[in-house]
Structure 1
């Protein structure tokens, strides 16, 4: 696990920036700051029972940075108005501080509403702070955290499998556990914080889609270049949709930011995914 002493200066910077924001009253929610991105996944692997199935995906909240309680409450209102069958969250709930933000995070997450389930995986920052506290918070918020596990939604003896890989950055991932539990006769969706894991996920044929975060879309998007800022585990698939073998990899830009609170042509994102059956 990462040496938390290294992050002490970043924690100090985070605290100073939060204090300044609060004094300047710059933490107001603005609905227009967030983009709801529609994504349609067309596949012949889905059964009629799941034709039109809707997932809403968010990632990289980084509570206590640019995202505060007021902004997160606003985001959750947007999500609930989308009326998702399942809500999925792909990690990094916090950054370098945790204890002072757990209460607000739990208060907001408990307001999420979905028809079937709310599912999550953890990200690297969750492990760098206090993974046990995050897991406890998720459980109290009625969010099912998947650690190399599969959550199955059943309709009329048909299945939609939603798998969750634990944090790749911290070496917690185990694709073998997923493969052992996977029903090859029904489609699957992978949740994993790090998008470049798509090269592994696509080797398992039931997977039609992988949903990830981690990159924040680079926080800067340049015309024709798209995402100039890339890093570990988001070099190949830093933002948006990619075809990887027979699977779609989708990398959400995240709703929060990490240490630097700026975005250029790269607004925070809520992804609205609809699965469509094709012959």
Structure 2
């Protein structure tokens, strides 16, 4: 860790110094230069202090997460600025060499200062975009909750469930929260939807049950006529932190299950329930985490669907959308609607409804955000209520999904 920190710090310092060449071309005031230097130094010092005082097993959250976010914003600013200056210097070197060989006079080369100022201006404009976006994502974007509404039609939906409304939330990651007022606002938004049922699709915590305890009263206040149900996500098992013993890790999972019960969630562990209305029913199935690419494969779909009739209308809760792609859509039981999360939309991307939907996470997950349909079956991949790692969101906002089921052909 120390070696990595030293290398990263050296890269940071070099980029800051090299980028300063362009900065001072645009701004001549020594006070502005001093502010530039102090801001870069403060971001570096804060990051180093947080890393050196970090206790393994605490998870990347709170002050160290914020310090890391600010550090990488400044690192990116310096790198973009520095790359432009480096390219300009390379061009300058080649032109200088050519002029020497060709015997051109210095008076023929007076355009360099103005060109450097022009390039520095372009560099600052480009560098400011990701820098500003990362800082905005940390201080505004991470709690910029969006209610996304979908209406899905099914020919075999029981008539009584025409218009039935589901609110889905996912990936709370309570260990990352740092603003009770904002989280409470998100909870109020969920309750304002007045859905028939609330479904939570995993990752209540980053690592440990204690992360959820300060927020449990807020999530306990969630209400829906037909109740609220939950499943486990990959982070809920405590696999990404250090434990004093395997017994402590196992107890943490027991504590999390108990806490979910205390908050009023019916935790579905490879099992199912029936939602009933006017003498008709739909099956709600919940599996433990099943993920591709090194993620825990604890989910047992066969066990979960035992006792369900093939003809039942089925809603499946499965945290990782790769489970839907690899297993669920080819299962002979035909799961009408699957609800997942996990990807967070990488907490970074560009979405303009009807025009653009892009995030780097699309290179890892084919189904990464929103509604998809395959073989007459739907999945909604929720973008997540919380955040982890980078303490913010840029372009991919925290989501509350509201899905209304409609009977196809029923007026």
TM-score bin (small chain): 0.7 to 0.9
What is residue 340 of structure 2 aligned with on the other side? 212
Task: State how many pairs are aligned.
Answer: 266
Among 349, 361, 379, the residue aligned to 1:249: 379
Provide the rounded CA distance (Å) in 2 between the counterparts of 1:56 and 1:194: 18
What is residue 114 of structure 1 aligned with on the other side? 224
What is residue 240 of structure 1 aligned with on the other side? 370
- Range with bigger deviation, 112-121 or 64-73: 64-73
Q: Say if 1:42 and 1:275, in contact at 8 Å, map to a contact too.
A: yes
Among 392, 395, 409, the residue aligned to 1:265: 395
Unpaired segments ≥5 residues, structure 2: 1-53, 68-137, 240-251
Q: Say if 2:321 and 2:342, in contact at 8 Å, map to a contact too.
A: yes
Provide the rounded CA distance (Å) in 2 between the counterparts of 1:274 and 1:249: 13
Among 196, 210, 220, the residue aligned to 1:85: 196
Deviations 1:206-248 (A, max 9, x none): 42111100000121224656121258xx622111111121111
Provide the rounded CA distance (Å) in 2 between the counterparts of 1:90 and 1:201: 16
Among 316, 324, 327, the residue aligned to 1:190: 316
User: Which runs of structure 2 are paired with 1:2-13 in the superposition (5 Å)?
Assistant: 9=56, 11=58, 13=60
What is residue 168 of structure 2 aligned with on the other side? 57
Provide the rounded CA distance (Å) in 2 between the counterparts of 1:252 and 1:117: 20
Shift of 1:15: 4.3
Shift of 1:204: 3.8
Q: Normalization by structure 2: what TM-score?
A: 0.60
Provide the rounded CA distance (Å) in 1 between the counterparts of 2:253 and 2:215: 14
Deviations 1:7-55 (A, max 9, x none): 96473642434797xxxxxx99999811100011111111110000000
With over 3 angstroms needed to count, the CA separation of the structure-2 counterparts of 1:153 and 1:13, relative to structure 1, is closer
What is residue 152 of structure 2 aligned with on the other side? 41
With over 3 angstroms needed to count, the CA separation of the structure-2 counterparts of 1:127 and 1:8, relative to structure 1, is farther
Provide the rounded CA distance (Å) in 1 between the counterparts of 2:342 and 2:171: 7
Q: Say if 1:61 and 1:67, in contact at 8 Å, map to a contact too.
A: no
Among 27, 43, 61, the residue aligned to 1:14: 61
Q: Say if 1:88 and 1:118, in contact at 8 Å, map to a contact too.
A: yes
What is residue 229 of structure 1 aligned with on the other side? 361
What is residue 149 of structure 1 aligned with on the other side? 271
What is residue 256 of structure 2 aligned with on the other side? 134
Greater strand content: 1
Provide the rounded CA distance (Å) in 1 between the counterparts of 2:407 and 2:148: 20
Q: Secondary structure at the match of 1:153?
A: strand
With over 3 angstroms needed to count, the CA separation of the structure-2 counterparts of 1:157 and 1:225, relative to structure 1, is closer
With over 3 angstroms needed to count, the CA separation of the structure-2 counterparts of 1:82 and 1:12, relative to structure 1, is closer
With over 3 angstroms needed to count, the CA separation of the structure-2 counterparts of 1:136 and 1:19, relative to structure 1, is farther
Would you say 1:201 and 2:328 are equivalent positions?
yes
With over 3 angstroms needed to count, the CA separation of the structure-2 counterparts of 1:29 and 1:132, relative to structure 1, is farther
